[in-house]
Amino acid sequence: MSTERTLVLIKPDGVARGLTGNILARIEAKGYVLVELKKVNATTEQLAAHYAEHEGKPFYQPLVDFMSSGPIVAAIFEGQRVIEGFRSLAGATEPTTAAPGTIRGDLGRDWGEKVQKNLVHGSDSAESAEREIGIWFA
C-alpha cells in the first residue's frame, strides 16, 4: 500500500486559542509524518478556490469571513491511509456531538455564532488533497 498525503488546516479559532501545538502533536502521535508546515493569512483567491463547491450556498460568505478572520496553520501530513485517519482523529464536523478523544470532541464546542468554528479541516479524498495542497502550498 502506498503512502498518501493530506492537507490539514488549523482554522483561525484553533490558532487563536493556542491549540496549534496540541493539534499537531495529536496527528504526529498517531504516527503521521509532517511534511510541510506554514502559518498564513488566507487570501480571497485561496478561499474561493478551496471552497469553490460551496459558492452560492447560504453558509459560504460566513465561512469565508471566518477563515479570513485570522491566521491559519496549513500542514501536509503523509502516511498510510492518512486521509481517512486524520478525518477520524478530527471527529464529526459538529463539535458538540463529536466523540470524546477526537480533536473536535475534546477541544471544540458551539460558540453560538453564524459559522461553525470546528478547529480543523482535512481533505476528504486523494483528489481533494492534491487540489487543496496546490492551493495552500503553490
Which residues are designated catalytic? 121
CB 85 within 8 A of CB 46: no
Of 132, 136, 134, the closest CA to residue 43 belongs to 136
Whether 78 contacts 2, CB under 8 Å: no
Exposure class string for 54-72: b at 16+ Cβ within 10 A, else e: eeeeeebeebbebbebeeb
AA identity, residue 90: A
Q: What angle do CA 93, 62, 133 make, to 5 degrees?
A: 60
